[in-house]
């Protein structure tokens, strides 16, 4: 029996390895921003399934190395070495070990590659199994170009324990659906692993997170949950269902989990939540379902499940985009009764044409502002997802989106640049059109904040400018709370960004407007000093000049126009890229 070590690849991060720097000298550096730390939910599910189905496995021989937990910031070999040193004490060639690597995100490719090669070099006799969303769609490439022994496609609850059980029987392995080695990948059809009925999926193995308290903090930058009383709450991500009936061309969720929505049985859900409350004091829950808002009856049942846990002051935050069309007043009442304190609506585009013909999501653009209003009346934080740069989206359509979003009464918007995700319709179309390659040069450079490839006649840098301009027009100039004169609430958000973004001058201008309006004289003085200092920084001032027109679309900011009386700076593209990275922090 081999020991099992789950390894979670870093979400995405700057690689600072000396070796990498030497070999990739001329490569542009990626942003070091990583996603908010989350439970490795897939691993928790697989760990409990393995322990339940295979008698040999228990708490003593299953380990977790989650690089997102262990390390925040630039990634290098030393981080990997230390992590493994702490887990594998004995000296051996790894023949007694199975390394099960999670590769969810395409943008994790580079650090994943570093990790998998480290494992193979250090433990040449080990078995390496890779799974997760990106791995499912890039399985052929992984098997041909990395030292992985097997890739498991799709949900792993059936095929993963089956594979472990049969590691000594190559013939049997070939027959396991969804499991591929290099030979099978080239010869057999691309099947997804069979799905285990949700009622059979055991509760996630939370024990594996023991002592790792950071997992239970809320870790999203712009949210009411990082402020005031909410900051003290312990949070946990949960999944109450799998699958999504839609199949949006930019999203891979349906391709991965299927169209029919499978619900976790109520009593199972309640006991997981109760466990989290009793063992970890969790009272805040973040459902990561792809399709949380089902029919009204489903929400009513879920409300009863949540109530049956008797967890006091329970809070529910829906940060994974909620489909506007599925909402109505009655359902929002139920969400309120559940303790919903924050919702993010997946509006994506303000252009009716784009909705109907490009993303085919058909968000009802007349209904959305009313839905937003209903949440606002209940004092529930409302955020949105907005995307620009979609395939075949014209400048006019994008302008429609920006002005639509800049007029919404919301707290904040996650404004993203579209990027093609492997396994989706858009990815396939762009690949077929020769716009992207199907390999690491594409995956490494996918980010919702920057674009390193030319698209629709514009360079990557053009797109970054477009995104920045859209962000400032929507979240700053068009800020819903400022437009409504709700300066206190607006200040909360700008202040959150101000705290962790020391060079973001726009957030300080907006914060200053709020403190002036609120007559917070001392705060105004402090912020003014910060702006004074920043304005003398050529890089920041240049950046400000580049986007000031976006902010001054709202005349309320006129009196905050800045000048450092310095001669005009030359903006070259590399400087611009550096500057642009300053403002983004979500
Ligand atoms: C929760 C979530 C997050 C969390 C973190 C998730 C995590 N801890 O891994 C947070 C909030 C951080 C996040 C962020 C982002 N996310 Co996200 N996220 C999700 C979401 C909604 C659910 C994932 C989940 O927990 N599912 C529940 C668990 C039980 O399932 P699972 O993780 O898939 O695990 C199963 C299988 O994958 C497999 N498996 C997993 N690991 C392993 C390992 C082995 C060895 C084996 C055999 C099998 C296996 O078995 C598991 C059990 O069945 C998915 C959507 C989806 N349906 O997958 C998107 C998704 C993963 N996210 C996605 C994206 C794009 C993002 C963002 C870029 C969004 C953005 N615009 O900013 C960011 C940035 C991430 C980054 N790298 O910087 C894409 C990824 C596509 C891709 N190829 O890159 C997805 C698929 C959604 C989509 N749009 O299509 N996300
Ligand atoms: S974007 Fe949302 S609604 Fe569309 S397929 Fe993905 S999860 Fe489903």
- Spatial distance between the Cα atoms of 113 and 24, rounded to a whole number of angstroms: 14
How distant, in Å, are the alpha carbons of 135, 152, 166, 316 from that of 190?
13, 11, 21, 38
- Spatial distance between the Cα atoms of 470 and 393, rounded to a whole number of angstroms: 15
| Atom of ligand 2 lying closest to residue 290 CA | 7
Does residue 366 share a domain with residue 229? Answer: yes
Output the pLDDT for position 34.
59
Output the pLDDT for position 564.
57
Ligand nearest to the CA of 248: 2
Does residue 235 share a domain with residue 163? Answer: no
The DSSP call for residue 63 is E
Does residue 113 share a domain with residue 60? Answer: yes
Residue 30 pLDDT level (bands cut at 50, 70, 90): very low
Q: What CATH number is attached to the domain comprising 179?
A: 3.40.50.280
Does residue 168 share a domain with residue 241? Answer: no
Does residue 313 share a domain with residue 416? Answer: yes
Residue 237 pLDDT level (bands cut at 50, 70, 90): very high
Instruction: Determine how many CB atoms are found less than 10 A away from the CB of residue 330.
Output: 10
Output the pLDDT for position 14.
61
Residue 52 has pLDDT above 80, yes or no: yes
Residues in the chain: 586
Q: Is residue 25 part of a domain?
A: yes
Output the pLDDT for position 450.
80
Closest CA to 544 of 525, 522, 566: 566
Query: Which ranges of 228-366 does DSSP label H, i.e. alpha helix?
Result: 253-257, 266-280, 296-308, 329-338, 352-353
| Atom of ligand 2 lying closest to residue 321 CA | 2
Does residue 279 share a domain with residue 237? Answer: yes
Mean pLDDT, the chain, as a whole number? 90
Does residue 132 share a domain with residue 9? Answer: yes
Ligand nearest to the CA of 345: 2
Domain boundary residue among 144, 165, 187? 187
Look up the pTM and report it.
Answer: 0.93
Ligand nearest to the CA of 200: 1
> How far, in Å, is the centroid of ligand 1 from the Cα of 261?
17
What counts of helices (H) and strands (E) characterise the chain? 26, 14
Q: How many CA atoms does the CB half-sphere of 474 hold within 13 Å? A: 31
- Spatial distance between the Cα atoms of 276 and 285, rounded to a whole number of angstroms: 10
- Domain limits at 276? 217-433
- Spatial distance between the Cα atoms of 154 and 485, rounded to a whole number of angstroms: 48
Q: Is residue 202 part of a domain?
A: no
Q: Is residue 584 part of a domain?
A: yes
- Spatial distance between the Cα atoms of 204 and 45, rounded to a whole number of angstroms: 5
User: Does ligand 2 lie within 6 Å of residue 425's CB atom?
Assistant: no
3-state secondary structure 480-502: HHHHCCCHHHHHHHHHHHHHHCC
How many domains, the chain? 3
Ligand 1 contacts (CB < 6 A) are 11-12, 34-36, 38-42, 45-46, 100-102, 104-108, 129-134, 152, 155-157, 160, 239, 251-253, 256-257, 288, 290, 320, 416, 421-422, 448
User: Does ligand 2 lie within 6 Å of residue 323's CB atom?
Assistant: yes
Spell 28-66 as b/e; 16+ CB within 10 A means b. eebbebbbebbbbbbbbbbbbbbbbbbeebeeeebbbbb
Q: Is residue 204 part of a domain?
A: no
Domain boundary residue among 401, 433, 465? 433
- Spatial distance between the Cα atoms of 450 and 4, rounded to a whole number of angstroms: 37
Q: Is residue 461 part of a domain?
A: no
Does residue 164 share a domain with residue 256? Answer: no
> How far, in Å, is the centroid of ligand 2 from the Cα of 261?
12
Does residue 57 share a domain with residue 155? Answer: yes
Q: Is residue 60 part of a domain?
A: yes
- 112 in Cβ contact with 101 (< 8 Å): yes
Q: Is residue 209 part of a domain?
A: no
Query: Which ranges of 378-459 does DSSP label H, i.e. alpha helix?
Result: 395-405, 425-432, 440-443
User: Does ligand 2 lie within 6 Å of residue 348's CB atom?
Assistant: no
Domain boundary residue among 378, 405, 433? 433
Query: Which residue has its alpha carbon closest to ligand 2 atom 2?
Result: 290
- Spatial distance between the Cα atoms of 189 and 519, rounded to a whole number of angstroms: 67
Q: What CATH number is attached to the domain comprising 261?
A: 3.80.30.20
pLDDT in tens, 381-404: 999 999 999 999 999 999 999 999
pLDDT in tens, 286-343: 999 999 999 999 999 999 999 999 999 999 999 999 999 999 999 999 999 999 999 9
Residue 234 has pLDDT above 50, yes or no: yes
> How far, in Å, is the centroid of ligand 1 from the Cα of 217?
19
Spell 154-178 as b/e; 16+ CB within 10 A means b. bbbbbbbbbbbbbbeeeeebeebeb
Does residue 152 share a domain with residue 92? Answer: yes
| Atom of ligand 1 lying closest to residue 251 CA | 90
Which of 38, 98, 104, 256 for mutating ligand 1's site (highest number of atoms within 8 Å of CB)?
Answer: 104
Alpha-carbon Rg for the chain, nearest whole angstrom, is 24
Does residue 158 share a domain with residue 13? Answer: yes
- For residue 184, give every residue at least 6 positions away whose Cβ sits within 8 Å of its Cβ, in sequence order, or none: 174
User: Does ligand 2 lie within 6 Å of residue 241's CB atom?
Assistant: no
> How far, in Å, is the centroid of ligand 1 from the Cα of 105?
7
Here the contacts of 220-223 (C-beta below 8 Å, separation 24 or greater) are 220/36, 220/319, 220/586, 221/36, 221/496, 221/497, 221/500, 221/585, 221/586, 222/383, 222/412, 222/493, 222/496, 222/497, 222/585, 222/586, 223/317, 223/319, 223/342, 223/381, 223/383, 223/496
pLDDT in tens, 165-213: 999 999 999 999 999 999 999 999 999 999 999 999 999 999 999 889 9
Does residue 253 share a domain with residue 401? Answer: yes
Residue 3 has pLDDT above 70, yes or no: yes
Q: Is residue 42 part of a domain?
A: yes
Query: Which residue has its alpha carbon closest to ligand 2 atom 7?
Result: 290
> How far, in Å, is the centroid of ligand 1 from the Cα of 240?
15
Which of 133, 257, 260, 323 for mutating ligand 2's site (highest number of atoms within 8 Å of CB)?
Answer: 323
């Amino acid at each position: 029996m081999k020991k099992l070590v789950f390894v979670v690849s870093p979400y995405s991060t700057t690689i600072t390895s000396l070796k990498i720097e030497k070999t990739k000298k001329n490569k542009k550096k990626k942003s070091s921003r990583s996603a908010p730390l989350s439970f490795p939910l897939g691993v928790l599910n697989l760990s409990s399934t393995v322990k339940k189905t295979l008698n040999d496995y228990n708490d003593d021989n299953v380990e977790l190395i989650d690089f997102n937990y262990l390390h925040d910031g630039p990634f290098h070999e030393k981080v990997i070495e230390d992590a493994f040193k702490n887990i594998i004490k004995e000296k051996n060639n790894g023949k007694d070990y199975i390394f099960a690597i999670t590769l969810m995100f395409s943008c994790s490719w580079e650090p994943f590659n570093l990790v998998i090669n480290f494992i193979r070099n250090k433990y040449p006799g080990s078995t390496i199994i890779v799974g997760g969303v990106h791995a499912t769609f890039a399985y052929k490439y992984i098997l041909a170009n990395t030292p992985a022994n097997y890739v498991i496609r799709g949900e792993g609850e059936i095929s993963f324990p089956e594979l472990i059980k049969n590691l000594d029987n190559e013939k049997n392995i070939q027959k396991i659906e969804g499991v591929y080695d290099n030979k099978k990948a080239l010869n057999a059809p691309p099947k997804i692993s069979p799905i285990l009925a949700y009622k059979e999926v055991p509760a996630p193995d939370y024990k594996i997170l023991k002592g790792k308290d950071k997992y239970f903090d809320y870790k999203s930058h712009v949210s009411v949950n990082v402020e005031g009383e909410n900051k003290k709450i312990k949070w946990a991500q949960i999944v109450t269902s799998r699958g999504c009936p839609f199949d949006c061309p930019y999203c891979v969720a349906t391709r991965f989990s299927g169209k029919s929505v499978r619900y976790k049985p109520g009593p199972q859900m309640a006991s997981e939540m109760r466990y989290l409350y009793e063992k970890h004091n969790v009272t805040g829950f973040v459902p990561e379902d792809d399709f949380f808002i089902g029919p009204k009856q489903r929400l009513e049942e879920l409300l009863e499940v949540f109530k049956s846990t008797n967890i006091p002051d329970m809070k529910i935050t829906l940060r994974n985009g909620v489909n506007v069309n599925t909402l109505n007043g009655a359902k929002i009442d139920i969400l309120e009764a559940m303790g919903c304190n924050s919702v993010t609506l997946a509006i994506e585009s303000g252009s009716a044409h784009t909705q109907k013909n490009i993303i085919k999501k058909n968000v009802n653009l007349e209904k959305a502002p009313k839905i937003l209003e209903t949440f606002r009346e209940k004092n529930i934080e409302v955020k949105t997802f907005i995307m620009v740069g979609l395939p075949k989206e014209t400048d006019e359509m994008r302008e429609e989106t920006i002005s639509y979003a800049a007029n919404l009464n919301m707290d904040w918007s996650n404004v993203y640049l579209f990027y093609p995700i492997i396994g989706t319709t858009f990815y396939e179309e762009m690949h077929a059109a020769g716009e992207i390659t199907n390999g690491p040069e594409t995956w490494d450079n996918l980010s919702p904040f920057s674009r390193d490839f030319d698209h629709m006649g514009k360079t990557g840098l053009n797109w970054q400018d477009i995104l920045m301009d859209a962000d400032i027009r929507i979240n700053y100039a068009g800020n819903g709370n400022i437009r409504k004169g709700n300066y206190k609430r607006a200040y909360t958000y700008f202040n959150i960004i101000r705290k962790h973004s020391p060079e973001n001058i726009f957030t300080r201008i907006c914060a200053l407007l709020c403190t002036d309006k609120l007559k917070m004289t001392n705060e105004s003085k402090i912020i003014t000093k910060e702006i004074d200092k920043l304005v003398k920084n050529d890089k920041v001032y240049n950046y400000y000049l580049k986007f000031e027109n976006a902010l001054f679309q709202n005349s309320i900011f006129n009196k905050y126009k800045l000048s450092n009386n310095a001669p005009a700076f030359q903006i070259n593209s590399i400087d611009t890229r550096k500057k642009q990275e300053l403002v983004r922090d979500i």
